[in-house]
Amino acid sequence: GDSVTQMEGPVTLSEEAFLTINCTYTATGYPPLFWYVQYPGEGLQLLLKATKADDKGSNKGFEATYRKETTSFHLEKGSVQVSDSAVYFCALLYSSASKIIFGSGTRLSIRP
């Protein structure tokens, strides 16, 4: 079935460092892909999305490009801030459109 695989965490970076969190997917066709973020003590919120192959999603300085050749949707940010510390989840819309499937999450900690 459809699934999402994320890089293991935790990831610890210094402020202003470059961030990449890897995400690959297995799916029938080319489903919409998402990155959600979960700040401490809160529910998830949508960070960005790409609805079809070759699309690029972007928000708050984060970017991810839907690459069908490598079945990947890696999250990047050029210069991270302490406020970016959170858990990041890659996700896809299941083929039957009945649910969103999430990866296991990657905890990101940014030190000043």
Partner 1 sequence: NAGVMQNPRHLVRRRGQEARLRCSPMKGHSHVYWYRQLPEEGLKFMVYLQKENIIDESGMPKERFSAEFPKEGPSILRIQQVVRGDSAAYFCASSPGVDTGELFFGEGSRLTVL
Closest CB to partner 1 among residues 70, 96: 96
What span, in angstroms and rounded, lies between the C-alpha atoms of 77 and 79?
6
Question: Which residue ranges make up the site for partner 1 (CB under 8 A)?
Answer: 32, 34, 41-46, 49, 51, 89, 93, 96-105
For the CB of residue 37, give the shortest distance to partner 1 in the complex, in Å: 11
For the CB of residue 15, give the shortest distance to partner 1 in the complex, in Å: 25
3-state secondary structure of 67: strand
Closest CB to partner 1 among residues 28, 79: 28
Closest CA to 60 of 82, 40, 84, 43: 84
Closest CB to partner 1 among residues 49, 77: 49
What span, in angstroms and rounded, lies between the C-alpha atoms of 31 and 15?
34
For the CB of residue 72, give the shortest distance to partner 1 in the complex, in Å: 18
The tally of CA atoms less than 13 A away on the side-chain side of residue 10 is 10
